[in-house]
A = this chain, B = another copy of it.
Amino acid sequence: MTLTKKPVTGMKDILPGEMQIRDYVTSLVKETYSSFGFRSIETPCVEHLENLCSKQGGENEKLIFKIMKRGEKLNLENAKSEEDISDSGLRYDLTLPLSRYYANHSNELPSPFKALQIGSVWRADRPQKGRFRQFVQCDIDILGDPSYLAEIELILATTTLLGRLDFKNFTVRINDRKILKAMALYAGFPEDKLDSVFITLDKMDKIGIDGVREELNAEGYDKDGIDKYLELFDKTTRDVNGISYLKEALDGYLDAETADNLETIIASVEATRSADFKIEFDPTLVRGMSYYTGTIFEISMDEFGSSVAGGGRYDEMIGRFTGQSTCACGFSIGFERIITILLDKGFKVPDEGEKKVFLIEKGASGDRICEIMKEASRLRSSGTRVLVCQMNKNKKFQKEQLMKDGYKAEDIMEFYNTELKN
């Protein structure tokens, strides 16, 4: 009986061509964020199940790959529920492990702490084209900084990265959970219905303002309140003065500082940006995660539909580990999305330098091999990539394969026992 050749359902083997692009993007990420003072960290891929299941019923919890207890701890006969046979699982994002990490190590870390983490996460989603059950996330977070400098730095660093990947014409949209809330309360929605109102609002870009109106109507909210609510969006969306307008309109519902900060963030990013993008206030931006407490932001490109990065402030998460709330603001970069875009547009990793192939005749003498290896070594130490391998019986096919793999005909040298051809 032979073993199974295919990867497990929903996961994928990465071929060298794609891997080269992934490696390139990874090193560009590390280099770029490092220039902003971010430090690489790593957390284990396995987390306590108790922590993974703590985000109060998020969809992600259902998708956890749970790991079986082992040895004496595993008592199959008496097992009644999944908790009896599992107490850990594979992480499904990097934010929860980072929060645990910071809670565990904050006294060994600078304050504020700027963290970069690139790593695989796992979700047992229904397999579908282009979505895999193991995928890479790339998160940057600033912990312990209460000021909007955190937001500015996160946005500047990430847009610099996208610019270096030659992405153009993208848009940073920014909002604040406190503005979202103030707008809804001002319009008279009951406080305990806000999450449901935001779920509807989040569909604005798909169903338009009329679709949102219809849905809110269907939910039975007060018609005048809905009008009052939607008028706010009419007056502020994609409007440079949107924030100033809200500052006045929402007086009594919104603290001036929140609005001022948002204006400063936008102004600072606009004044400093090095890449080709725009930043705008978007009062319809919701972002799903319930753990956000302040600013929220997202980067999207018209030509690619969905967003390539998103994040926000989550000042209450670390407190779930320590009992003390701690400022935290983060950006999650859509690593897999970026790789897909690059692959789709036929991206080539820039300038790889010289490369050669040495094909050596089968049966070459030991002395001849020494001579050839010395030559390979000489070239390598001067920066040339040299692939040494035995010449196959079907030399023509072997050379075709090598050329498919990126070598040119003139890069391929043939060595025989006595003389050098080509």
Chain A residues with a Cβ under 8 A of chain B:
2-8, 11-16, 19-20, 22-23, 27, 30, 34-37, 39-48, 50-51, 54, 65-68, 70, 74, 76, 79-82, 85-86, 88, 90, 100-101, 103-105, 108-112, 114-115, 120, 122, 124, 133-134, 142, 145-147, 149, 152-153, 156, 160, 260, 263-264, 267-268, 271-272, 274, 320-323, 355, 357, 360, 362, 366, 369-370, 373-374, 376-377, 380-381, 383-390, 392, 398, 401-402, 404-405
Q: Kindly list chain B residues whose C-beta atoms are within 8 Å of the C-beta of A268.
A: 366, 369-370, 373
- Pick from B85, B362, B380: contact of A85, CB under 8 Å: B85
Q: Known contacts A11-B46, A40-B20, A68-B66; is A377 also within 8 Å of B156 by CB?
A: yes
Q: Kindly list chain B residues whose C-beta atoms are within 8 Å of the C-beta of A377.
A: 156, 272, 274
- Pick from B39, B112, B274: contact of A381, CB under 8 Å: B274
Tell me the nearest residue of chain B to A366, going by C-beta.
B264
Q: In the assembly, what is the distance between CA of A39 and CA of B16, in Å?
A: 6
Beta-carbon contact of A68 and B86 below 8 Å: yes
Beta-carbon contact of A15 and B108 below 8 Å: yes
Q: Known contacts A13-B41, A374-B271; is A385 also within 8 Å of B320 by CB?
A: no
Q: In the assembly, what is the distance between CA of A381 and CA of B263, in Å?
A: 25
Q: Kindly list chain B residues whose C-beta atoms are within 8 Å of the C-beta of A404.
A: 110
Query: Chain A's interface: helix, strand, loop or mixed, by majority?
Result: mixed
The 17 listed contacts between A and B (C-beta, < 8 Å) are: A2-B323, A4-B321, A5-B100, A5-B321, A7-B100, A8-B44, A8-B48, A13-B101, A15-B105, A20-B39, A23-B30, A45-B134, A68-B85, A112-B389, A146-B390, A149-B369, A263-B366
Q: Kindly list chain B residues whose C-beta atoms are within 8 Å of the C-beta of A101.
A: 13
Q: Kindly list chain B residues whose C-beta atoms are within 8 Å of the C-beta of A16.
A: 39-41, 109, 115
Beta-carbon contact of B8 and A47 below 8 Å: yes
From residue A4, how far is it (CB to closest CB) to chain B in Å?
A: 5
Q: In the assembly, what is the distance between CA of A108 and CA of B18, in Å?
A: 13
From residue A259, how far is it (CB to closest CB) to chain B in Å?
A: 12
- Pick from B39, B54, B65, B390: contact of A3, CB under 8 Å: B54
Beta-carbon contact of B70 and A37 below 8 Å: no
Q: Kindly list chain B residues whose C-beta atoms are within 8 Å of the C-beta of A389.
A: 112, 114, 142, 145, 149
Q: Kindly list chain B residues whose C-beta atoms are within 8 Å of the C-beta of A65.
A: 46, 67-68, 70
Beta-carbon contact of B146 and A7 below 8 Å: no
Q: Known contacts A65-B46, A402-B110; is A13 also within 8 Å of B390 by CB?
A: no
Q: In the assembly, what is the distance between CA of A68 and CA of B377, in Å?
A: 49
Q: Kindly list chain B residues whose C-beta atoms are within 8 Å of the C-beta of A152.
A: 369, 373, 388
Per CB-CB distance, the 8 closest pairs between chain A and chain B, nearest first, are A37-B387, A11-B44, A16-B39, A264-B366, A14-B42, A147-B390, A5-B104, A271-B370
Q: In the assembly, what is the distance between CA of A411 and CA of B158, in Å?
A: 24
Beta-carbon contact of A8 and B373 below 8 Å: no
Beta-carbon contact of A373 and B271 below 8 Å: yes
Beta-carbon contact of A111 and B392 below 8 Å: yes
Q: In the assembly, what is the distance between CA of A39 and CA of B362, in Å?
A: 24
Beta-carbon contact of A120 and B274 below 8 Å: no
Q: Known contacts A65-B67, A111-B398; is A36 also within 8 Å of B380 by CB?
A: yes
